[in-house]
Every structure is written in C-alpha cells, then in structure tokens.
Amino acid sequence: MKTFKTTFQLILIIVILLINSDTSYSSSRFNMSYLHYGSPKSYLSYINDTDNSLDCVSPNYLDINSNGDLEINNIDRKLIKEVHDKGMKVTPFLSNHWDRNAGELALDKKEELVEQIVTIIEDNDFDGINVDIENLDGESKEAFTAFIQLLRQNLQEDKEICVAVAANPYGSDKGWQGMYDYKALSEYSDYLMIMTYDESYGGSDPGPVASMSFVENSIKYAIKAGIPSHKILLGIPFYGRIWNINDIDNDEKENRIIGKGIPASTINLLLAFYDATVTYDDTSKSMKANFVVETDDEKKDLYSWGVPVTEGNYEIWFDDNFTIKEKLKLVEKYDLKGTGSWSLGQENKDIWKYYKSWLNGDYFNDIENHWAEDDILSVYNKDWMRGISSTQFGPFDNLTRAQAAVTIVRALDIDLINSTSHFTDVKDSHWAKTEIETAYHNNIINGKGNDVFDPDNIITRQEMAQMLTNIIDKDLPEITEENGFTDIDEDDWSYEAIIKMNRYGIFKGFNDNTFRPEEKVTRAQMASILNRFSTYIH
C-alpha cells in the first residue's frame, strides 16, 4: 500500500510539473545578436529596445591582435549581470577582424589561446563563446577545426560554443569558405552562425546584401554538408550598402562610396531626406533605393550619418521589415535553430514588435482560429500569397482580378513575360502588368472581351473557376455527372468550368446546393482553393 501511495504521489507531481511548465519554450526559436557598434553604455539600451525578443547577445569583448594574441575590450560586469537578470545569455565574440595573418598566428598557439579563453569565460560568468575568425583559407581548415575541438574539450559542458561561418551558396572550397569544415565544426559546437550577408560588399558592383537565393542556397548547402538543421543560425543583416554610381569608375577620387555599409536605422532617414525612389527587386527579393544629389543641392553633406554624401547618383540595397520577414520564413521551412543578426543597434527599432512572432511562424495577427488558417500559412510559406501588411493577411478582404492573376502565376512558378500589354486597361505602370501579361500568354486569362481585363475589379467565383480550368482542363477527363447546383445551368458561360472544379474538389458549393457564381472571392477562400488546386499542378 505504501509503494502504491508513493508511486501515485510521484505521478501526480510529474503531471503538475507538465501542466505548469512553459511548453512554448521548447518550441521557441533561438535568437541572438552581436554587439559591436556603439559604446558599452549604449549596449543595454540596444538590448532593452528588443522587447525581450533575444535569447543571447555576443558583445565585442575579445580580439585577436596583429601578433595573434588575445586582447580584452572593456568587459562590463554590470551589463553581464543585467543581461542575466533578463534571462538572457552572454557569449562574447572572438574576432580577428578579417586580419588573415593575425588569425593564422593565433591558431599556431591555440593551446595558449584556449587556456586564456576558458579562464575569461569562467572569471566573468559568461555563458560560452562566439568564435568569429574570418578570412583564412583552406590551408587553415584543420587548424581551425582543431582549435574549436580543443575549446570544446576544455570548456565546461554547460558553456556554449557558437562558430560564425561564411555563407557558401555555391559549395566552394576556395577562399575563406575553404577554412570551414561545416560537419566537423558542428560536432564540436552547439550551433553555427551562417553569415548569410555581404553577397555584395565594399568595393563590389551594386547589388543586394543578401538576396533570397543567396540565403536559401547557403542553408541548403550547409545541411547537405552535414550540419544538423537544429544547429544552424540564419544570419540576418541589420544594415544596407550604399553606392555613388559616379564613384565606381573614378579611381582618382578619395573617399569613394562603393558599397559602404550603412545602418538600417538611418537608411529610412536618408531616403526621406533625399526623396529617394524605393523599389522591391523581385529577382533578389531585396529593397533598392535611388536618389540624386546635385552639385548645388542644399541637402548635400547635411545628413551623411558617417557617409560623406556629395553630388552623384546613389543606389542603396537593403532589407526592410517585409524582406526580413521573408527571410525568417526560411527558419520555419528548414527547421533551423533560429537566427543571429549583425548587429544590434543598427536595426529599425519597430522590427522588434514582430520579430519574435515571425521567427516562430506566427506571421499574421488576423488569422488565429480562422477556418482557413492552415491554408493561409501554407500558401504564404510557399510565397504564393503575401500579406496586405507586415502583420495582417486580410482573410476577409476581397481579391481583385489582378491579384488573382499574380497569385496563380506565382503558384505555377512560370517565367514572367515582360511584353507590351495585350489589354487596353492594363497600363505599363500597373503594378501587376507583367504577371497579367504572363497569365494571358499562358492562356490562363482571356479578359472580358474587346481587349479589356478589368484588373482592379473584384474577381467572382465563376471567373476564378474558369481561370483554374484554363490551366488544367487538358488533364481532366470529361465530366458526365449531372449538375448538382440549383443556381447554374448548362447555358451559363462558366457552367463547364464550375462543374469540373467542383467535381475534382477544387471549388466547393454551399450547404443549400448553390454555387453562387457571382459571389466575390475572399483572400482566405483563395488560399484554400490554391491548396486544393496544388494537387493538380505540383
């Protein structure tokens, strides 16, 4: 009887613990950021701005000097305690700041370096270390791996090791990508921070800091190379790069502006000040801005923010909240551990209102418990439909004919056709002109007659049924069963399309045996229709 009572009490305790435990923590994605720019006094302000979105910060406390020796930078014990009090970890980052010779010298005396690092971590109550040694080459691969292995052997088990590694979208073993043995490093560390940025860099031609293909291909290669997905942090840039196009070929000019880094927090101010034209580059999934500064412009040199803005044609490539959100979708897609960002204090502060939710797959605040929530998230993650803002999907909003064409073209993943518009009411300036023209040339849409498409009118259920039938009609057998809807008959122009789409479960009717062909299609309905339709196109 005593044994039974003891066992029952033990089970009861376990049940209570499970009920009261924060089960969300185990499924929460990890988020860290580097602390590099600014003063130690500003670091706490940067951290407070994140609205408890961070799990770890990595301040610039440890450097490798030109002799390969360790230098300590103003370790702030008060900051460490305050960060710990917030429930966050502190893992200082060790950097050679791109100095190849310094990095090689440090690896030659790795035993001494490891001993110093271990002592510093223990003496300052750090939670581990973030190793950010860059710009070595393949000849240093074994030595660098041995250094990380030695660190793991000497650090306490509860101290974390993060290794920052170069993005490698092309699977190269040349240059500084060659110094990183992804698989071996992942075995000796807790996670790897893939620096998926600087695709374009200081001195390069204008281009994205981190295009979507560059980022995604880097993830794919890392997993293929042997890094478990749960050990990968996706690098997020909190900065952009600026080019003065006039400087690119002007070798004689001093202080040329060719891919100079600029914080995201100042880009919006700069663009507004010079009345820049901002566009979304669909190929790279990045933002691009252009503005001109004239020789006699009174604004010249007034708002440079560390960039000596003089006369010229300027181009800035950067990420905004929308493109960062798109990158965070990759964390969910590939089931990564989380993200790391460079660097804290450079970001637009309002990103922290949403970052944690986006990182954990909660993209919209207006679809929770909606009947189409799963369908919406599915098509959003496939990039077939996007939100109406960075926080809302607009499930009850109606869909225009232009939006329907764009959505279908994305779902089919067909090459865009940029030709003169067939439709008289779709001007070259229309936001969806290219997708509408692509849909027309692929026989997805025919318009309303007389070369009219009516792009901004709301699409109806029968119009949508016809569009989808145009795509897959050749793959569907002839429908022989009788019409089950009371509000359509064989004389209706959309009759056959409606029957086919209903027969194959793509379009559903209503409980009163009606189809309601003239009823407008909502964005939520479109998401659901696309998910069912995908069976026939993929």
Look at 422 and 300; give whichever has higher pLDDT: 422
Q: Which residue has the higher pLDDT, 265 or 236?
A: 236
In this prediction, residue 483 carries a pLDDT of 78
pLDDT of res. 308 = 74
pLDDT over 90 (residue 298): no
385 pLDDT above the threshold of 60? yes
SS3 of residue 94 by DSSP: strand
Q: What is the model's pLDDT at position 476?
A: 65
The answer, yes or no, to whether residue 304 has pLDDT greater than 70, is no
- Residues noted as catalytic: 134
Average pLDDT value for residue range 288-297? 88
Q: What is the mean predicted confidence (pLDDT) over 408-437?
A: 94
Q: What percentage of residues in the chain have a pLDDT greater than 70? A: 91
Burial class (CB in 10 A: 0-12, 13-18, 19+), 472: middle
Whether the pLDDT of residue 525 is over 60: the answer is: yes
- For residue 166, give the 3-state DSSP assignment: strand
Residue-level pLDDT at 296: 72
The overall pTM is greater than 0.85 = yes
Average confidence score pLDDT of the chain: 91
pLDDT at residue 404 tops 60: yes
Burial of 63 (0-12, 13-18, 19+ CB in 10 A): middle
Q: Residue 309: pLDDT band by 50, 70, 90 thresholds?
A: confident
- With b meaning 16 or more CB within 10 Å and e meaning fewer, what string describes 178-213? bbbbbebbbbbbbbbbbbbbbbbeeeeebbbbbbbe
Report all structural domains of the chain as residue ranges with CATH numbers, in order of start.
Answer: 28-238+319-357 (3.20.20.80), 366-537 (no CATH)
Q: ∠ CA 94-99-104 to the nearest 5 degrees?
A: 80
Is the pLDDT at 26 greater than 80? The verdict is: no
> Buried b / exposed e across 345-376, counting CB within 10 Å, b at 16+?
bbbbeebbebbbbbbbbebbebbeebebbebb
123-159 pLDDT tens trace: 999 999 999 999 999 999 999 999 999 999 999 999 9
Give the per-residue pLDDT at 18.
42
For residue range 224-260, what is the model confidence (pLDDT) as tens digits?
999 999 999 999 999 999 999 999 988 888 888 999 9
Q: What's the CA gap between 155 and 6, in Å, rounded?
A: 40
DSSP H/E element including 260:
strand 258-263
Of the pLDDT bands very low, low, confident and very high (cuts 50, 70, 90), residue 339 is: very high
